[in-house]
Amino acid sequence: MSALAAGLDEPRAGRPQPRWRRIIRTSWRFSRASPLNLVASALVLLVVVAAVLGPLLSPHPPDAMTLTERLRAPSAAHPFGTDDFGRDLLSRVLTGARISVEVALVVLSLSVATGTILGAVAGLAGGIVDEVIMRITDLFLAFPVLILAAAIAATLGGNLTTTMIALAAVYWPWYARLVRGQVLSLREREYVLAARTFGAEPAWLIRVHLLPNVLPLIIVQVSLDVGYVILATSSLSFLGLGAQPPTPEWGAMLTDARAYVRDSWWFATFPGLALAITVFAFNLLGDGLRDWLDPRLRGRA
């Protein structure tokens, strides 16, 4: 699986570059690899910009109601129209970008941290510890994702925080499996065996040998999961188990829009489009990254 890692660590002659320059350079190489990669990068950039600068770009406060301006079609004053409380949809959609990205960040950080620790422990310790951790992992995988998340959200009371906890509970096992698999394959490598023979600390082993190898895998998995997490968050909010009013979460906005879809097309269109494009962007990015990092799947160019 180290083949996957090869894409990232192409050693270069000369002095080491600053990290950010390496990231930009790598991103550029990735984007150039295929037109779809370019689309993915551009869209993800758009979403991230919206998430970061959204509040600055919003023409109106996202929660400001003008009841006399209820359900207005798109116009110069309200490019995306207004919702059932006369709130500016453009501002709400922009604010929604930040919420979705934040939720995805929190959920995946929690999942990656938990999954990596448990996976590494399981892989390194082996034996009964491994057995117990992996069976717990199986257990969580046996739950239907959304139903478990919905049940947790319902138990803890529906809001974005519980949505995040619920989704993290659902996503960590994938990372635990991933990391454990990598640890197991590494354990048998000659250089690791050699290092162990010379009495290397497990922490050192993890930092020097494991992380560089497992990181690309995690990056690919995270980029693939961002889309799912955002979609799952919106689904839960749509079903009334996630974000509560007046939070301009896209799924929650679509719940409100549902009753007006017949006569006010813009209300459901824009939040839905924002959601679809965001999920699409991250899925495309993840898919492209996976292809790009795995030399066996690279184009024939």
Binding footprint of another protein on the chain (CB under 8 A): 34-36, 63-65, 67-68, 70-71, 84-86, 135-136, 138-139, 141-148, 150-152, 154-155, 157-158, 227, 231-232, 234-235, 238-241, 244-246, 251, 254, 257-264, 268, 272, 275-276, 279-280, 283-284, 287, 290-291, 296-297, 299-301
Judged by beta carbon, residue 8 or residue 71, the one nearer another protein is 71
Residue closer to another protein by CB (options 112, 284) is: 284
102 is written with which tokens?
């934040």
Indicate the residue among 19 and 296 with the shorter CB distance to another protein. 296
Question: Rounded to the nearest whole angstrom, what is the least distance from the CB of residue 97 to another protein in the complex?
Answer: 15
* Residue among 22 and 298 whose Cβ is closer to another protein: 298
Contacting residues for 64 by C-beta, under 8 A, at least 6 apart:
87, 88
Length of the chain: 301
Q: Shortest approach of another protein to residue 189 CB, angstroms?
A: 20
Q: Which is nearer to another protein, 117 or 136 (CB)?
A: 136
**Torsion over CA: 114, 116, 119, 121 (sign):** negative
The pair of three-digit structure tokens given for residue 103, joined into one six-digit string: 């939720």
| CA atoms in the 13 A half-sphere facing the CB of 264 | 22
Write down the least CB distance from residue 143 to another protein, Å: 7
Closer of 208 and 224 to another protein (Cβ): 224
Angle at 282 between CA 119 and CA 94, to 5 degrees: 120
Segments in the chain forming alpha helices (H) = 2-5, 19-33, 35-57, 89-125, 127-141, 145-156, 160-187, 190-197, 202-205, 211-238, 250-258, 265-293
- Give me 45's structure tokens: 């950039």
Minimum CB distance to another protein, residue 285 (Å): 10
Judged by beta carbon, residue 25 or residue 258, the one nearer another protein is 258
**Shortest Cβ 290–another protein spacing (Å):** 8
Residue 291 CA neighbour count, 13 Å, CB half = 15
Minimum gap (Å) between residue 36 Cβ and another protein: 5
Ramachandran quadrant class, 219 (left: phi over 0; alpha: psi -120 to 50; beta: rest): alpha
Burial class (CB in 10 A: 0-12, 13-18, 19+), 222: buried
Q: What tokens appear for 29 in the block?
A: 């190489």
CB of 216 to another protein, least distance (A): 16
Closer to another protein by Cβ: residue 13 or 301: 301
Q: How far is the CB of 62 from another protein (least distance, A)?
A: 12
The DSSP secondary structure of 40-72, one letter per residue, reads: HHHHHHHHHHHHHHHHHH-SS-TT---GGGTTP
